[in-house]
């Protein structure tokens, strides 16, 4: 089967898909993206991703390349043409193609690119196998609420984690607080059983998976706190996990080489994974998607 990509109005074979060398996404990382997860043929969290995309575009003053509804059609068409029932759709919008000048170009259409990737279906067994994270300084800019394609610090952090034999790197700000992972949100369960993840602010990307897990917790009557937590608090935690559209809800059993809790995947983590999967199967994603910074 030939993989098909969407590039500025055309469906093209993946190996031929290309953007112009003066696309501002390529030259300046002047663009934004979203990664949509498909679960058993269902597009998860579409409204949340679209609302967040709108926020990113608005903050950067990039125009929608086409309507939300039309983008929804292209997403489904890319899923269909690539036979993605379980997997991901990647969407990127850049400010467009123009002579290389820093200021915004005039009268230029934004660029739109989509690709699809098939993946094995979500596997709870695998997600329950604990992974390690390391902590690194958060050296990024100050607008993590914008889903910018400018991901250098995230790439360097993820590579550092990989080389350390860890799954993810948790980024730590100047106050010693964990903001988030390089591609996921960070969560702990304190010794008192409090479920904690960083509050929505410019310091984190408000994950669609994060929102889903919070709504699933609320639905099940599980208390949670949205607040920063320190590295010391994380090291003393009973449980930890990460969430993202590509990692789902993955148990963390070590931080900087130190075992979390008793080293086994925690009770609440296991419960939250079950609740998360039930929630997306029942509701298709978070229902309340209005808070982006
Ligand atoms: N934080 C960062 C920095 C990310 O890159 C991601 C994944 N795009 C997330 C959090 C999680 O977001 P989501 O649950 O929407 O995938």
pLDDT category of residue 179 using cuts at 50, 70 and 90: very high
User: Per-residue pLDDT for 293 more than 80?
Assistant: no
Query: Within 10 A of 275 (CB to CB), how many other CB atoms are there?
Result: 20
CA-nearest residue for atom 8, ligand 1, is 183
Is pLDDT of 189 > 90? yes
Q: How far is the CA of 250 from the centre of ligand 1 (A)?
A: 13
Query: Sign (positive/negative) of CA torsion 77, 82, 84, 88?
Result: negative
Q: Report CA(178)–ligand 1 centroid distance (Å).
A: 15
Residue nearest to atom 2 of ligand 1 (CA): 183
Nearest CA to ligand 1 atom 10: 184
Q: For residue range 141-173, what is the model confidence (pLDDT) as tens digits?
A: 999 999 999 999 999 999 999 999 999 999 999
Q: Which helix (H) or strand (E) holds 133?
A: strand 131-137
Closest CA to 114 of 188, 43, 210: 43
Which atom of ligand 1 is nearest to 37's Cα?
16
pLDDT number for residue 54: 97
Q: How far is the CA of 198 from the centre of ligand 1 (A)?
A: 13
Residue 60 has pLDDT above 80, yes or no: yes
Q: Which atom of ligand 1 is nearest to the CA of 212?
A: 14
Active site residues: 147
Q: Which residues pair with 5 in a beta bridge?
A: 12
Q: Is the pLDDT of residue 290 over 90?
A: no
Structural domains in the chain, sorted by start: 4-118 (3.30.470.10), 124-283 (3.20.10.10)
Best residue among 173, 184, 209, 247 to mutate for probing ligand 1, ranked by most atoms within 8 Å of CB: 184
pLDDT at 22: 98
Q: How far is the CA of 103 from the centre of ligand 1 (A)?
A: 28
Nearest atom in ligand 1 to the alpha carbon of residue 45 is 15
Residue 108's pLDDT is 97
Q: What is the pLDDT of residues 32-54, one digit of tens each?
A: 999 999 999 999 999 999 999 99
Alpha-helical (H) ranges within 148-194 are: 152-163
**Span 109-131, average pLDDT:** 97
| Pair of tokens at residue 122 | 């979500």
- Which residues surround ligand 1 with Cβ inside 6 Å? 35, 154, 180, 183-185, 205, 207-210, 243-245
Protein residue whose Cα sits closest to atom 4 of ligand 1: 183
pTM to 2 decimal places: 0.97
Q: Whose CA is nearest to atom 5 of ligand 1?
A: 183
Three-class SS of residue 213?
Answer: helix
Distance 7 CA to ligand 1 centre (A): 24
Beta strand 195-197 pairing with 224-226: parallel
């Amino acid at each position: 089967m030939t993989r098909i990509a969407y590039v500025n109005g055309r469906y093209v074979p993946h190996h031929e898909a290309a953007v112009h060398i003066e696309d501002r996404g390529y030259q300046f990382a002047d663009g934004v993206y979203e990664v949509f997860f498909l679960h058993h043929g269902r597009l998860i969290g579409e409204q949340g991703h679209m609302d967040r995309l709108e926020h990113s575009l608005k903050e950067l003053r990039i125009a929608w390349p086409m309507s939300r509804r039309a983008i929804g059609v292209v997403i489904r068409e890319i899923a269909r043409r690539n036979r993605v029932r379980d997997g991901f759709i990647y969407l990127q919008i850049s400010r467009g193609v123009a002579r290389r000048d820093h200021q915004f170009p005039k009268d230029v259409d934004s660029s739109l690119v989509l690709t699809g990737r098939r993946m094995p279906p979500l596997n709870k067994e695998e997600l329950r196998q604990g992974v390690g994270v390391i902590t690194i300084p958060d050296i990024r800019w100050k607008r993590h609420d914008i889903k910018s394609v400018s991901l250098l610090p995230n790439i360097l952090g993820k590579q550092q984690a990989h080389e350390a034999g860890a799954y993810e790197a948790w980024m730590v700000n100047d106050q010693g607080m964990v903001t988030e992972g390089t591609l996921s949100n960070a969560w702990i369960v304190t010794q008192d059983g409090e479920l904690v993840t960083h509050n929505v602010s410019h310091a984190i990307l408000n994950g669609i998976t994060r929102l889903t897990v919070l709504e699933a917790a609320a639905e099940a009557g599980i208390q949670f706190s949205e607040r920063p937590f320190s590295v010391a608090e994380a090291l003393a935690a009973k449980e930890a996990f990460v969430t993202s559209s590509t990692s789902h809800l993955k148990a963390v059993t070590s931080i900087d080489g130190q075992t979390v809790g008793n080293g086994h995947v925690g009770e609440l983590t296991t419960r939250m994974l079950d609740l998360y999967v039930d929630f997306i199967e029942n509701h298709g994603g978070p229902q309340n998607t209005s808070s982006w910074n």
